[in-house]
Structure 1
Amino acid sequence: MANLFNILFSEVNLVLTILLIVLLLYWVFTMIGGLDYDVDFDVEVDLDPAIDAGTGMDGGNMDFQDLSNAEVNQEDVVGKRRRPLKWWQVFLIYFNFVGLPFMFTFTCWIFIWWFMTVLTTAVTHSYDNYFGFSIMLIALFPALIVNKIFTTPFKGFFKNLNKDGDAPIDYLGRKGLLLSSISEDKMGNAEVKVDGSTMSIYVKSLTGEPLVYGSSVLIIKRSPDHNYYLVQTYND
């Protein structure tokens, strides 16, 4: 047992072990707090204003929950491009950081990388020398490949789930309460009650007219990229 502890927290494996523990704690708190899984996050090739449509950062509404569970959608990366993809976008797409919740893919990758490094350094007794560091760095690349193979079957699973694990909710025609002021292309959040549950969605003004915080709105339609909804003032 003491030897296992020495291996896991050796000079070579310490960083990956601590990172894995942090990720495991994150998932524990996620399950306890019931955080969302499928918040959309656009990666735009030319970093134009459409990025705000996926992140909600324009309205200052992006929080830790949104970022950590962000999902990068392939149609947003490829479908809207006007120039060739950059290397990091190709990387994200190929290794399944696109199309799956980012933290899910990232956690799987870190675990596989950690497992390969710990196992190899333990077998070769190199967990406390320079050769072990070389093994750790080299293992990064096969870990990405194994992670791609492992996570690919989950694409269909996550694609058909919303944050509650049920069929997607139809928000069209529902009333909502603005949680931030919006106007023109500025995005904000709206609170919508569905079957007794309160949901938060990203919204924009249908006509571009200013809508203030606390206003009642009616959800008219969904954006073509499915990242937000268009709303207008609703008077009871």
Structure 2
Amino acid sequence: MGDLYNILFSEVNLVLTILLIVLILYWLVTMIGGIDFDLDFDVDVDVDASPAMDMSTGMEGGNMDFQDISNAEVNQEDVVGKRRRPLKWWQVFLIYFNFVGLPFMFTFTFWIFIWWFMTALTTSITYSYDNVFGFVIMLAAMFPALIVTKIFTTPFKGFFKNLNKDGDLPIDYLGRKALLLSSISADKMGNAEVKVEGSTMSVYVKSLNGEALPYGSNVLIIKRSPDHNFYLVQLYND
């Protein structure tokens, strides 16, 4: 037991071990307490992609929060065959390794666990968990861990694609009032905030008739796009 402790909390494995413990605590608290952690990290997205992609582009300010990315659904066909401009390398990275298309924390936890397991196992076998060679192994294990993560998480796409972020059936937003979080006009896509049964949801929207709708406007959700990736809205008149 002492040897195992020394390996897992050695200089090489310490960071991954602590990170894995934090992730385990995160999932335990989430499952037991039913707490929804609203992680609001901004990721700049300025690529002009087609509406078929959930990683919407052409949004004013180009901001997509962490929660959007963690729940976005992007198919490989949408990325390869329907885009008008190339995606940036980090966007391709997130999509290819299932950080987009599955809940972000789900894929991230898989990756950290596999990376940690590979590193801990290899450094224990080679007795390199407390020297420079062990750090080389840890860094090198990052990439095969990504590949294994993609293999193991891909089957879960069919399970998650018909669920919303809370694990329930998709919500019907049609006919609901929403608050614009970005200005939209013509084909420009933006975000809108919708309150459903006390919960606040974020959806992608476009102007129904192409008219300019400024930030902060109250809009009415009229219909859903044929690809089910955004909604068409018009100005809401009280």
TM-score normalized by structure 2?
0.73
How far does the alpha carbon of each residue in 1:156-209 deviate from its partner, in whole angstroms, 9 at most, with x for none? 11112122323322222x12131546341362323243xx34442333322243
How many positions carry a matched residue from both structures?
A: 227
Structure 1 residue 191 corresponds to structure 2 residue 206: no
Residues 83-122 of structure 1 mapped to structure 2, 5 A cutoff:
91-122=93-124
1:227 aligns with 2:203: no
Corresponding residue for residue 18 of structure 2: 18
Say if 1:11 and 1:62 are closer, same or farther in 2 by CA, change over 3 A. same
| Structure 1 moving runs of 4+ over 6 Å | 41-44, 83-87
Moved more, 75-84 or 116-125: 75-84
What's the counterpart of residue 161 of structure 1? 163
Which runs of no fewer than 5 residues in structure 2 stay unpaired?
A: none
- Name the CA shift for 1:179/1:218 in 2 (closer, same or farther; >3 Å): closer
Q: Secondary structure at the match of 2:72?
A: strand
1:141-165: CA deviations, max 9, x gaps? Answer: 3323322222122111111212232
Counterpart for residue 178 of structure 1: 179
Select between 124-133 and 53-62 the one with higher mean Cα deviation: 53-62
Q: In 1, Cα distance between the equivalents of 2:177 and 2:23?
A: 35
Q: Residue 147 and residue 126 in structure 1: after superposition, are their counterparts in 2 closer, same or farther (change >3 A)?
A: same
Q: Hey, what's the Cα distance between the residues in 1 that align with 2:96 and 2:181?
A: 36
* Shift in Å, 1:56: 8.7
Give unmatched runs, 5+ long, in structure 1.
none
Query: 1:7 matched to which residue of 2?
Result: 7
Change (3 A) 1:92 1:181: closer
Counterpart residue identity of residue 97, structure 2? F
Aligned alpha-carbon RMSD (Å): 3.8
CA distance in 1, matches of 2:80, 2:138: 33
Q: 1:56 to 1:6 in 2, by over 3 A?
A: farther
Number of the residue aligned with 2:135: 133
User: What is the letter of the counterpart of residue 129 of structure 1?
Assistant: N
1:63-121 Cα distance to aligned partner (Å, 9 max, x none): 44334x24351243223234677766665555333432233222211110101111222
Percent of residue pairs bearing the same amino acid type: 71
Contact 1:181 1:210 (8 Å CA) reproduced? no
Contact 1:179/1:191, CA 8 A, preserved across alignment = no
